[in-house]
Structure 1
Amino acid sequence: MADPRRHHGNGYHHRHQRNKKEHVSSNSISGVSLIHKYLPKELILRIFSYLDVTSLCRCACVCKYWNQMALDGSNWQIVDLFFFQTDVEGPVVENLSKRCGGFLKSLSLRGCRCVTDNALELFSRNCQNIVALNLEGCTKITDAACESLGQHCNKLMKLNVDSCSSLTDRSLVALSKGCLHMESLSFAWCNQLTDDGVVALLKSCDKLVNFVAKGCTQLTDASFKCLARCSELKTLNLFNCSQLTDEGIVAISRGCPHLTCICLSKCLHLTDISLVNLGTNCREIRLVAGCSLFTDHGFESLTKHSHYFEKMDLEDCTLITDATINHLATNAPHLSVISLSHCELITDDGIRHLCSSICASECLRVIELDNCPLISDASLSFLSTCRHLKRIELYDCQNVSKSGVQKLQATLPNLNVHAYFAPATPPADSGGSRRRYCKCCIIL
């Protein structure tokens, strides 16, 4: 039987495809019409409320009715535009603020580098019920944006302006005047901020629960003494606040008894005095990231008084010995993550003691031992008894062998081991230059 397409040429094919599309389209419209017929508007809106931004935008393209439903402000109370960061510019934020208005409660513009002050000024006026705002990495914004937030958004409770390096003390002063309910504030790497701005903010916003100032190298003890006014403070990150001294930490420990997490890495002036006071006054502490001057004495006092530790980051605490590991093994039954990288005095005996503790048998999931030269295969043998262990870091542990790692994984098959083993004899380089080996992650 002759193929009819041979007589009708491409015209038949085009009409066939068009009819097929029309049939599918009519079925789709029919299905949408049935939804309209049997589901009330309120229920459709409730269904749409569970969709993410991408899905809502796709639904808005189905038909006129769905466009109205998908773009209804009630569906846009929580918006995260992080995955659109390469495309998001000021007009998108402006249109979003006009569409959502008072419905919008939480907005993340993390990584949206093209957003400017003009867009945020309009946003502040239109979305005055905003509670949480993430502007991390919005590097074009200046004090004008924060001044608009302080003027219009008095319900704001959570603000993240990490890496917005153009901000100055003017921003914090503006926030202190209008955002009196602030509970969480993060301004990491905002290097222009000084004590004047932080003190002005903290005098008005004393309900802070979360405070992040990492990389703010101009801040001194004056800021942190004022932070002690925040009696409900729970999370504190002061990474690389290089002017901080024991005096500031003593004030915080006495004024913030509910502190649970504190990062003090790269705070080069702190001594055991800080640990002793944290242990005495902050009994609920669960996470500590230490610094290079801390010794066994400080951790003995800390662990003696606080027994809820879940994570300990002791990287670069080069003065601690197995004694600190013994204190944790005895007094930290809930410990699940510990970093001992660059702790060059830790030995197999300390790991043996840790592995014989309650935390090792019940909780320990991650241990980092990078650049621990005294650790050997004996430690891996002890760690093989930790049945909940999920990850171990062993970069540049010269006394750990590949065969030791293989034995550990044979015992714990679900364990991820991150290690690097240099070739016994570096291969010759025809160019005459010395070859450099990348310290990459190899899962054995």
Structure 2
Amino acid sequence: MVFSNNDEGLINKKLPKELLLRIFSFLDIVTLCRCAQISKAWNILALDGSNWQRIDLFNFQTDVEGRVVENISKRCGGFLRKLSLRGCIGVGDSSLKTFAQNCRNIEHLNLNGCTKITDSTCYSLSRFCSKLKHLDLTSCVSITNSSLKGISEGCRHLEYLNLSWCDQITKDGVEALVRGCRGLRALLLRGCTQLEDEALKHIQNYCHELVSLNLQSCSRVTDDGVVQLCRGCPRLQALCLSGCGSLTDASLTALALNCPRLQILEAARCSHLTDAGFTLLARNCHDLEKMDLEECILITDRTLTQLSIHCPKLQALVSQLLVVDLPLRDERCPATLPHYRRNLLSGRVSSIILGFRGLLVGLTWEVENLRVTVFVFGCEPNTGTQVLTQIHGQPVE
């Protein structure tokens, strides 16, 4: 049925505006834009700021330029709460200044990969966006310590900040940030290669609510910094230290004694960590759920044993070992497995995924040309073992 513009049966004449706006609020960006072209009435409804509280432009990143952001900010105004410009490399400081002036209630802003922006954008956010709680500046490589100083002065409600690969950031910037943003719960500093132990001491002094910290590839960080951090951040639940190659068991000891709520630990390529450190960690951090121990070359199956005993919530573990003492030696295994046992036990475990207390256990071996993934169920003592094997390539004879 086709309605004329004068037909009283038009939906916008049958339903109140409030109800129509409610219906439009469930539509995505593309659909709203299409609806806006139907009629003048629908254009007004579709482009009403209340329908544009959360906007994600990632799927349109190659087409998004500064004027698009400016137009959105003028249309949405104070309604906009969440905006993702991830990957929108055409957006720069000028358009984000207009955005900040118009959208002062913004709480969640993702600028990941917006490589044109500089400290000027952070000054604008600091001046106009005091309600900001979540800010992602990943790979905004022109950001410097000046940005962090500005953010600390104007965005004091910030809870999440991602500065990954902003490699101009130093300890001075971190100090300025944490002095003003003491409610930070998550701070991601991956690839901030200039950071040293003193930066962690500043975090320890001011960020007592911190739950998640990522220091991947911050290679200048040592045990001294991690020890200080742990003493001041007892609520820490997730910590990434991968690539911090100078760390020793002293860091694990500090975690074990000060951070009992730890759930996620990533320590890949920390080649000085040993069984002793992980044993103490397992005995004190019973909430551990995920661990990455890839290239921790000094650990043995003793670490796995301690984790299996003390960490019942552990769901995923990535590691590299030379020998693993699991039910592969059990004669109850299916007949297919002993055929490969000689080769498996002499090979290198490339990855392990563990779910203890009867959950899934998955191990991947690499033996010459053979790649084997073994899934073990029922790893509780005296419960029996069922082993399934998935073979890729030809068996090694």
Shift of 1:204: 1.0
* Higher relative strand content: 2
1:51 shift after superposition: 1.7
Is 2:101 the partner of 1:125? yes
Paired residues, number: 369
| Whole-angstrom CA distance in 2 between matches of 1:30 and 1:323 | 80
1:406 and 1:301 map into 2 onto residues whose CA distance is: 29
Aligned residue for 1:238? Answer: 215
Tell me if the contact between 2:148 and 2:173 (Cα under 8 Å) persists in the aligned partners.
yes
Is the alpha carbon distance of 1:89 and 1:385 closer, same or farther for their aligned partners in structure 2, counting shifts above 3 Å?
closer
Partner Cα distance (1:351, 1:205) in 2: 50
In structure 1, the residue matched to 2:311 is: 332
Q: Tell whether 2:163 aligns with 1:187.
A: yes
Shift of the 303–407 alpha-carbon distance from structure 1 to 2, 3 Å rule, reads: closer
Tell me, yes or no, if structure 1 residue 283 matches structure 2 residue 260.
yes
Please give the residue correspondences for 1:55-204 in structure 2 after superposition, counting only pairs within 5 Å: 55-204=31-180
Counterparts of 1:407 and 1:251 in 2: how far apart (Å)?
A: 40
Q: Residue 373 of structure 1 corresponds to which residue in structure 2?
A: 347
Bigger-Rg structure (1/2): 1
Match of 1:254 in 2: 231
Q: Which moved more, 1:35-44 or 1:296-305?
A: 35-44
Partner of 1:226: 202
Specify whether residues 192 and 420 from structure 1 end up closer, same or farther in structure 2 by C-alpha distance, changes over 3 A only: farther
Q: Secondary structure at the match of 1:139?
A: coil
Q: Specify whether residues 385 and 246 from structure 1 end up closer, same or farther in structure 2 by C-alpha distance, changes over 3 A only.
A: closer
Paired residue for 1:309, among 270, 288, 293?
A: 288
1:106 CA drift (Å): 0.8
Paired with 1:384 and 1:119, the residues of 2 have a C-alpha distance of: 48
Shift of 1:39: 1.6
* Aligned-partner residue type, residue 128 of structure 1: R
Equivalent AA in structure 2 for residue 230 of structure 1:
C
Q: How far, CA to CA, are the matches of 1:315 and 1:87 in structure 2?
A: 40
Q: Deviations over 1:123-142 (max 9, x none)?
A: 01111111110000000111
CA offsets per residue over residues 94-139 of structure 1, 9 Å max, x none?
Answer: 0000000111111110010110111101001111111110000000
Q: 2: CA distance between counterparts of 1:278 and 1:385?
A: 22
State TM-score, norm by structure 2.
Answer: 0.85
Is the Cα–Cα contact under 8 Å of residues 82 and 112 in structure 1 kept in the other structure?
Answer: yes
- Deviation track 1:285-333 (CA, whole Å, cap 9, x = no partner) reads 1110112221111111111111111111111111110000001110111
The aligned amino acid for 2:132 is L
Give the Cα separation in 2 of the matches to 1:253 and 1:124. Answer: 36
Partner of 2:366, secondary structure, is coil
Tell me if structure 1 keeps the 8 A contact 2:300–2:324. no
Q: 1:65 to 1:420 in 2, by over 3 A?
A: same
Cα distance in 2 for partners of 1:297, 1:32 equals 79
**C-alpha contact (below 8 Å) 1:325/1:351 kept by paired residues:** no
Cα RMSD of the aligned pairs, angstroms, is 3.1
Aligned-pair CA distance for 1:38: 2.6
Residue 10 of structure 1: aligned partner:
none
In structure 2, distance between residues paired with 1:401 and 1:60: 58
Which residue identity does 1:173 align to in structure 2? Answer: K
Amino acid at match of 1:156: L
